[in-house]
Amino acid sequence: MANSSGSCGRRGVRRWLGATLAVLLGWVGVACGEPAVDPRAQLSLTETLGGGDTVGYARATEVRPFVFPEDHGPHPDFRTEWWYLTGNLDTEEGRRFGYQLTLFRSALAATPPERPSAWATRQAWMGHFALTDVEGRTFHAFDRFTRGALGLAGAQSDPVRAWIEDWSLEGPDEAADDEDGAFPMRLRAEEGEVGLELRMEPAKPRVLQGREGLSQKGPEPGNASYYYAYTRLDSRGQVRLGTDTFTVAGLSWMDREWSTSALGGDQVGWDWFALQLDDGWDLMIYQLRRSDGTPHPLSDGVLIAPDGSRTELAWGDELRLDVTGGWASPVDDTEYPSGWRIQVPAEGWDLRVEPVMEEQELNLAFRYWEGAVDVTGTTPRGAVEGRGYVELTGYAGAPPGS
């Protein structure tokens, strides 16, 4: 694995990603006058996405209209947002790769800094790039940190673009002819001997998650995000590993969220599933876990038909998630679930989900498991197979308050 990050900062700041990135980036100035913080010191998820200081920031409190292509761009008055892509790709010969590229923006303050310097900014950026080589049984993961100034990182809607240095997600240079004003999109990421370049087109319409795009994560007002997704993007391009370049094709999934506080006080993490079946149906689940290990009532799921129509699933009677296996991280024996059974009794779904390989843990500034999975099972349409991605957060890393 590899990391790249800044160096200068303040001691003991872990409450919020903006504060943490201020530590890593030296936002308060290069001459901090204090010892540098180790950028590999792992950060607390709950304190990153919890309530914290929300004064002056916009909040996700009510349903709003989504406007495109503007909403593909940044929402700087909210404290955090991300452009999140995962996918499964194959060569013509059947060699398989999984990938993740995430671009995170975090506001360090509710208002812009009153400094004339071109370096001055209230926006900090973090990126994660990971590639799973299934045949080679190897997993590569990288992170980057930089500031939203001097063109180092940023986002815009005209034309659509989000980037951290040369990691980028871009729409066409000219006016797009799709209704969302963004496609075809191009994804590019490269780090050392690992590279990825894709061209992506929607295979089904955009989906608004939650209640018309308002996804409630905690019971408190404003503990929610604005959330939309493209659950099926036809993807073609190239994967590079060292001196070898592979032409690939497959399916990607893109999530877009922005918020000021998402997790509630008793939530420690989530288990997120993005599954694409070979009959054209997709399934998204997120289980919000409480400190006692039980699912929070606001855990959610949705079935997405081939035409893009949605069926909401309430946790419990309508949606059941059971763990069927486990995996211990070689870092410190942290236990992750590894293997699941997903049932939607009323709809007649019964699925098994298995990682393509267990060693897909990102041991970065944030430590979590995210990787490619296979799906088998039955639905009312008969036996199905599929692929997808699973993300497991809050199992490892710094404990809350550390």
Q: Do 101 and 127 touch, CB atoms closer than 8 A?
A: yes
User: Does residue 402 sit within a domain?
Assistant: no
Per-residue pLDDT tens digits for 247-266:
999 999 999 999 987 666 67
Task: Say how many C-beta atoms besides its own lie within 10 A of residue 382's C-beta.
Answer: 7
User: Domain tally for the chain?
Assistant: 1
Helices and strands (DSSP H and E) totals, the chain: 2, 25
Between CA 332 and CA 326 the distance in angstroms is 15
**pTM (2 d.p.):** 0.88
Of 174, 320, 31, residue with least CA distance to 8? 31
Q: CATH number of the domain that 67 lies in? A: 2.40.370.10
Range of the domain at 75: 17-392
Closest CA to 296 of 327, 325, 263: 263
Q: What digits encode the pLDDT tens for the residues 61-78?
A: 999 999 999 999 999 999
Position of tokens 């393509």?
Answer: 356
Residue 290: beta bridge partners?
Answer: 267
Average pLDDT, the chain: 85
Q: How far is CA 199 from CA 19, 171, 209, 238, 244, in A?
A: 35, 10, 24, 9, 20
pLDDT band, residue 37 (cuts 50/70/90): very low
Q: Report residue 354 as tokens.
A: 């298995």
Q: Which of 113, 124, 110 is nearest to 26 (CA)?
A: 124
Whether residue 9 lies inside any domain: the answer is no
Q: Report the pLDDT value the prediction gives residue 343, as an integer from 0 to 100.
A: 97
3-state secondary structure 246-262: EEEEEEEEEEEEEECEC
- Residue 248 falls inside a structural domain: yes
User: Do 353 and 339 form a contact (C-beta atoms < 8 A)?
Assistant: yes
For 170-213, how does the pLDDT look when each residue is reduced to its tens digit (9 = 90+)? 998 776 667 788 999 999 999 999 999 999 999 999 999 999 99
155 in a domain, yes or no? yes
Q: 110: Cβ–Cβ under 8 A, 6 or more apart, which residues?
A: 55, 56, 57, 77, 122
Angle at 235 between CA 231 and CA 236, to 5 degrees: 175
- Give percent of the chain above pLDDT 90: 68
